[in-house]
Amino acid sequence: MADDSLEQTQQLLSRAGQGDPHALNELFSRYRGRLKRAIQLRLNPRLTGRVDDSDVLQEAYLEVARHLPEYLQSPTMPFYLWLRHIAMQKLVAAHREHLGAQMRDANREVSLHGGAGLRASTASLAARLVGRLTSPSQAAMRAELRAQLQDALNSMNEVDREVLVLRHFEQLSNAETAQVLGIQESTASKRYLRALERLHQILTEMRILDDG
């Protein structure tokens, strides 16, 4: 299945390189959901209502359309990682436009292989985790849990947390995660396991998980 998907992507890339706009639309649509999730995870909560993930995606699409011929001539990374890289650049630009000098304190940039990116918002991570781990009937306790979980996530090693986000929430492979962060695959794998253990410890200490 993965090989078929890769082959289809290559066929669409070939058609897009020949100027077929439908092929480019289909390519982007294939990855829109993943890109949207990556943007939502890293969109600073201060920008809620001011920056829409769809606008960031539209800016990224226009950039992809402009630079696709250059990418096809000399691809430096897998196609999805290239799309993600451009989307992250557009998200960084949106943060700079709206937060200006506050950006460094509000959501510090993380050095990523091939360009800058934004660390995942622990507020977004906490909200997603609480949403998965609680039922609608527990809505009253969600706000308190979210605040506690955000504090706990902030205590994690930053790179470990990013590896966890890339692997678990963005569903990148270990190789893709290593390339995004510019680290060895073996290091990415070790950090992922360490992050999972730390997250399990956090959830157990908060009595969200049963340690038994």
71 phi, psi to nearest 5 deg: -60, -45
Number of CB atoms found within 10 A of residue 177's CB: 23
Least confident of 8-22, 122-136, 167-181, 186-200: 122-136
Q: Of the candidates 93, 119, 145, which is a domain's last residue?
A: 119
Q: Of the candidates 86, 119, 152, which is a domain's last residue?
A: 119
69-120 confidence digits (pLDDT tens): 999 999 989 999 999 999 999 999 988 888 875 555 444 444 443 333 578 8
pLDDT at 44: 83
Q: How far apart are CA 69 and CA 160, in angstroms?
A: 35
Does residue 104 sit in the same domain as residue 125?
Answer: no
Instruction: For strands 115-118 and 109-112, give the pairing.
Output: antiparallel
The confidence band for 32, taking pLDDT boundaries of 50, 70 and 90, is: very high
Does residue 90 sit in the same domain as residue 172?
Answer: no
Which of the residue ranges 33-42, 118-127, 196-205 has the most confident prediction, judged by mean pLDDT?
Answer: 33-42
Number of CB atoms found within 10 A of residue 135's CB: 7
Number of domains in the chain: 2
- pLDDT (average), residues 134-142: 66
C-alpha dist (Å) from residue 93 to 37, 51, 55, 103: 18, 11, 12, 10
Q: Of the candidates 64, 89, 119, which is a domain's last residue?
A: 119
* CB 45 within 8 Å of CB 123: yes
DSSP state of 119: P
Look up the domain containing 131 and give its range: 121-212
152-209 confidence digits (pLDDT tens): 888 888 889 999 999 988 999 999 999 999 999 999 999 999 999 998 888 888 776 5
Does residue 101 sit in the same domain as residue 189?
Answer: no
Q: From 90, 118, 102, 97, select the one nearest 180 (Cα to Cα).
A: 118
Does residue 113 sit in the same domain as residue 128?
Answer: no
Which residue bears the tokens 């590896």? 163
Does residue 109 sit in the same domain as residue 129?
Answer: no
Task: Count the alpha carbons within 13 Å of 188 in the hemisphere toward its beta carbon.
Answer: 20
The confidence band for 121, taking pLDDT boundaries of 50, 70 and 90, is: confident
> Residue 118: enclosing H or E segment and its boundaries?
strand 115-118
Does residue 146 sit in the same domain as residue 63?
Answer: no
Instruction: Report the first-to-last Cα separation within the chain, whole angstroms.
Output: 37
Does residue 106 sit in the same domain as residue 141?
Answer: no
**Domain CATH for 187:** 1.10.10.10
**Domain CATH for 17:** 1.10.1740.10
The confidence band for 67, taking pLDDT boundaries of 50, 70 and 90, is: very high
Long-range contacts of residues 164-167, Cβ cutoff 8 Å, at least 24 apart: 164/192, 164/195, 164/196, 164/199, 165/41, 165/120, 165/125, 167/192
Report helix angle 139-154 to 185-205, nearest 10. 140
